Amino acid sequence: MQEIEYKFLVDEERWKKVLKPTPELIVQGFISKSENAVVRVRIKGNKGFLTVKGKTTGITREEFEYEIPVEEAEHLLNGFTEKQIRKYRYRIMVEGFEWEVDEFEGKLQGLILAELEVPSTETKFELPDWVTEDVSTDPNYYNAVLIDQC
């Protein structure tokens, strides 16, 4: 399955003024990371997921995600990952598009990233005023890279 995703930095002061829904805690780690693919295990709320993501080209990559029992996700996180990312995810509708905004914890605290998945690279959308720099093609903002700072 093809994933087409934009990623933006978020202005903290503007973000504080946004009326937000209750966030969902996400804990994730990487079982495998290479130049061509990553294998991620994630607990989101009370569900577990195993995800394989291919090499990113521009804003697109292949992604395969499978729900797994949360107990298995916990076992994989504790036994097969060296570091974990903890973040709170907010889902916010803006002009008919669902934005996912992540506020990171721990050593990444203060980092706020907004992601928008679109059906096509031709899709047009408006940026919310709390979004700043487009970091979609900057590998420093991939979770597989950010986790090294944890």
Distance, CA of 139 to CA of 63 (rounded, Å): 17
pLDDT at 114: 98
Q: What share of the chain is helix, strand, coil (3-state, %, to 5)?
A: 20, 50, 30
Query: What tokens does 79 get?
Result: 């036994």
Q: What's 120's domain CATH number?
A: 2.40.320.10
Confidence of residue 49 (pLDDT cuts 50, 70, 90): very high
Q: What is the mean pLDDT of the chain?
A: 97
pLDDT for position 108 = 98
Domain with 97, as residue range(s), is: 2-149
Contacts of 100 (CB under 8 A, 6+ apart): 89, 90, 91, 114, 115, 116
Predicted local distance difference test score (pLDDT) of residue 123: 97
Span 4-28, pLDDT tens digits: 999 999 999 999 999 999 999 999 9
Domains held by the chain: number: 1
Q: Look at residue 40 in the predicted model and tell me its pLDDT.
A: 98
Average pLDDT over residues 35-39: 95
